[in-house]
A and B are shown apart, each in its own frame.
Chain A
Amino acid sequence: MQGWLPLVPESASTFSWQVDALYFYLSGVTLFFVLLISAVLIFFTIRYRRRTPYEIPRPIAGSHKLETLWTVIPFVIAMTMFGWGARIYFEQYKPPQNAIEVYVVGKQWMWKLQHATGQREINELHVPVGRKIKLIMTSEDVVHDFFVPAFRTKADVVPGRYTTLWFEATKPGKYHLFCAEYCGMNHSGMIGSVYVMEPREFDNWLAGNTGSSTPAAAGQQLYQTLGCASCHGANGEGGRGPTLAGLFGRPTQLEGGQTITADEAYIRESILNPGAKIVAGFTPIMPTFQGQVTEDQLVQILAFIKSLPGGTRAQGAQGTASPGASPAASTPAASPASSPAGSPTGNVR
């Protein structure tokens, strides 16, 4: 589990060495100043110890030059730290295009993951080495946090919204997955493993684990059963409601002149709170589906809409889910019973 130095974890992503380098810089500067101040303190305390009981030293008021020096130098050092950290962070939180997507739903006290190709995992994530992986995450209940120390990255998963995390694994192996936001009784048990595999091994794993339909196919079923087709068209071509085919990722103009990008958050919001953003030229007649869809189902509908042709994110390398393709077998109820999105449980005191 430990990396090349007992003080750092294994390095398994393209971020790891970057963060470690900055960490060592910070440690070096810290060590320098701590040793400097300690040495000076010890030296002064010995050199200027009181020798006679009633002596008074010469008062020294101060020195503007010194004050400037030890304000400016620390500030400059601080800015290097800031700049370096900000640069890496910007990259960490800018999800790349063309990444393999995995949907993550956190709930008390487990991680449910589903690959775009349909494979489901509980508390485990299998990924190929050397590919960019993007996690689209939400929570069914409270705030959790998806943390993989070996990748040096984490992000909160928040009920009511999607958060994303991305990484590119560099070394095959098995790495800790922790929940890193206190979430109740079994917070320390909400752990698992990330398996990074060579590409062939990963393909084998994929092949050996199909059985449930892809999220997009399941989403298409929901699209029909929930009645979306009646306003948005059987294939998302539009009608009384706006066109969904080609919508994802594109700028969309709203009533009132504002233009927004139709991302995951927008689609989720439009299902749960349709009145919040009305597309220009349409009236606010869409009913809300709050309480009628679970987080898992929302993710599936989202995957379906993303798969509709014309958008910026048609199903990528793994894709088999095109509209109209009949899904394999069952309804997406393989996971333990989940409550409708966002409803509270528990006593009140």
Chain B
Amino acid sequence: MQPIESFEVPAPSKVNYINAQYGLKSWLLTKDHKRIALLYLGSITFFFFIGGIYALMIRLELLTPQGDLLQSTTYNKVFTQHGIIMIFFFLIPSIPATLGNFLIPMMIGAKDLAFPRINLLSWYIYMLGGIVTIYALLAGGVDTGWTFYTPFSTTFSNSYVVAAGLGIFINGFSSILTGLNFIVTIHTMRAPGMTWFRMPLFLWSHYATSLIMILGTPVIAITILLLAFERLSGVGIFNPALGGDPVLFQHLFWFYSHPAVYIMILPAMGVISELVANFSRKNIFGYSFVAFSSLAIAVFGFLVWGHHLFVASQSVYAGMIFSFLSFAVAIPSAIKVFNWTATLYKSSISYDTPMLYALGFIGLFTIGGMTGLFLASLAVDVHLSDTYFVVAHFHYIMVGGALMGYLGGLHYWWPKISGRMYPEGWGRFSALVIFVGFNLTFLPQFVAGYLGMPRRYHAYPPEFQVFNVLSTAGASILGFGMLIPAIYFVWSMRYGKHAEANPWHLPGLEWRTQSPPLTENFEVTPIVTWEAYEFAPPEETEVVGKFGPELERI
């Protein structure tokens, strides 16, 4: 039993993982999971800005009903590349490769992941995939939509489909290796006493995410490979002229790409569990339900891909089965939302920036998740399929959900990662700006979608303009809001207040190291005798009161 009063943190030393070794080679050939996490942090931020510029171009074009800013072929490339970059090079790696890589060993009391060199290889593969994709963008771009539907992508598109596909293919291996690493680490390297049900929920959700990564990613790999070979060799299985089946491509594609959206959201849910528990100083209500719901989402997520094919000539009976399962997969997410909310009951909530992001997540994810029910519902999906309603739905989950989770987690663990605090006032301000900007961008798109505005339209009938103008206005605010953290995080690395080992005064294992941590995290492997989120001894069932000011010294 380790109540918060009696932490034992080693006296901070001047050496930490950042200054332990200097020189480019020590970073590019590192085996330290924390340094690799920083390498990823830099890369995904870079790709996020590229994807963001594409988003800006889309929203500027859509200010007016005519296609007057960009040529249609250019616009088609812009939205395709926005999707490819954001999904494969930002959202899928973001939390697992930065926060996951950094924190998983620390949260389980290990010195590193199971395979540190494979971890580094994973980053290099990611960079190689990114370079190939950037080559495709610079050489002329790709215009098939990030969904690469055949036969347009195999026989009609005159763009760099193979190159872009190759970039994504290579990147997939980065995902697979990361997932493999996490699974083996969580199975074999937990510190003595760290049972599965003493693990923070961040680990449960990353475990579930890793299961999806290893099972789903190989399928998109082979699908892209088949697509590329068909395009290059002039014969294949997706070409109707030969008796091939374009809808087969859609099945194979979505078999991965639907679970992929759970790869994007589960880690964020793990972050939210951490934020809600730690900033309300209370264990998560229904811990095991939240843990199992992550696994349930991973499993069910593989069974619903057909809801992307309701209007694609899939059989009516298959449609019914997929619709039923799509409703079923929503239930575990609902359970999480209720449990997070219940955690706040009779808790002690502080309004720090990470908590603001967590609260925003819960609200926005509820909207995003429930609008998903519209799309699971067969008859309504027939009307809404391929309209802006779908675009609004998935942006609520991916930006309102995953991105908020990422930003919240980044703020929360920033003192541990960098040894500095970010400026709290600016943090809260930018969280608010992002929240307002985000809703203004995507709420009108729900309405435009039901009114019938199709997606991927370069020009549109004038009656949709009012929604597009609101949306673009929101996007500018959102963009501005996201620039602020980019600036102050960088600023804080030099001028930010030095952070103590446990600036938030929390019981998690990662806070029992110095800030920033030593390369080997723990000098001595800890022995875990307490439950997750144990702020006070479990036998104290009454309102506990407070821990002493001696915590100030930690």
Contact = CB atoms under 8 A, between A and B. Distances in A.
B378 A89 contact: yes
Contacts of B383: 19, 23, 149, 152-154
Interface string A17-50: 0110011001001100110011011001100111
A344 B156 contact: yes
A55 B281 contact: yes
B450 A48 contact: no
Interface string A66-88: 11001100110011011011111
B538 A59 contact: yes
Given A60-B346, A185-B72, A78 B328 contact: yes
Given A71-B331, A159-B151, A59 B341 contact: no
A297 to B, nearest CB: 15
B549 A54 contact: yes
Interface in B127-180: 143-145, 147, 149-152, 154-163
Interface stretch (B363-371, B415-423, B491-499): B363-371
Contact of B158 (A51, A182, A349): A349
A70 B4 CA distance: 33
Contacts of B163: 349
B313 A155 contact: yes
A60 B538 contact: no
A343 B241 contact: yes
Interface in B308-324: 310-313, 316, 319-320, 323-324
A81 B429 CA distance: 39
Contacts of A179: 454
B459 A349 contact: no
B502 interface: no
A56 B535 contact: yes
B377 A22 contact: yes
A34 B382 contact: no
Nearest to A108: B156
A41 B363 contact: yes
B386 interface: yes
Nearest to A15: B379
A136 interface: no
A180 B454 contact: yes
Contacts of B162: 349
A239 interface: no
B487 interface: no
A49 B347 CA distance: 8
A158 B312 contact: yes
B42 interface: no
Contacts of B311: 145, 154-156
Interface stretch (A186-194, A219-227, A302-310, A328-336): A186-194
A38 B76 contact: no
B545 A78 contact: no
A71 B145 CA distance: 37
B452 interface: yes
A166 interface: no
B282 A26 contact: no
A346 interface: yes
B232 A78 contact: no
Nearest to A291: B241
A7 B451 contact: yes
B525 interface: no
Contacts of A62: 285-289, 339
A294 interface: no
Contacts of A181: 149, 386
A83 to B, nearest CB: 9
Contact of A185 (B73, B313, B330): B73
A38 B311 CA distance: 34
A273 interface: yes
Nearest to A147: B454
Interface in B340-391: 341-342, 344-351, 359, 362-363, 366-367, 370-371, 373-374, 376-383, 385-387
A23 B544 contact: no
A132 to B, nearest CB: 17
B393 to A, nearest CB: 11
Contacts of A7: 447, 450-451
A201 to B, nearest CB: 25
A49 B344 CA distance: 10
B289 A44 contact: no
A9 B454 CA distance: 13
B373 A347 contact: no
Interface stretch (A90-98, A115-123, A249-257): A90-98
21 contacts: A29-B373, A30-B371, A34-B367, A48-B347, A50-B350, A57-B346, A57-B348, A62-B289, A78-B327, A85-B379, A88-B379, A89-B320, A155-B313, A160-B241, A161-B240, A180-B385, A185-B73, A342-B239, A344-B155, A346-B155, A346-B157
Interface of B: 4, 67, 72-73, 76, 143-145, 147, 149-152, 154-163, 231-232, 234, 239-241, 243-247, 280-283, 285-289, 310-313, 316, 319-320, 323-324, 327-328, 330-331, 334-335, 337-339, 341-342, 344-351, 359, 362-363, 366-367, 370-371, 373-374, 376-383, 385-387, 447, 450-452, 454-461, 463, 505, 534-536, 538, 541-549, 551
Interface of A: 1-2, 7-9, 15, 18-19, 22-23, 26, 29-30, 33-34, 37-38, 40-41, 44-45, 48-63, 66-67, 70-71, 74-75, 78-79, 81-82, 84-90, 92-94, 108, 141-143, 145, 147, 149-150, 152-156, 158-161, 163, 176, 178-189, 191, 273, 290-291, 341-349
Given A26-B380, A71-B331, A346-B158, 16 more contacts: A9-B450, A15-B379, A23-B374, A34-B366, A48-B280, A50-B350, A70-B334, A89-B378, A89-B379, A142-B151, A155-B311, A182-B149, A187-B76, A188-B460, A342-B239, A349-B162
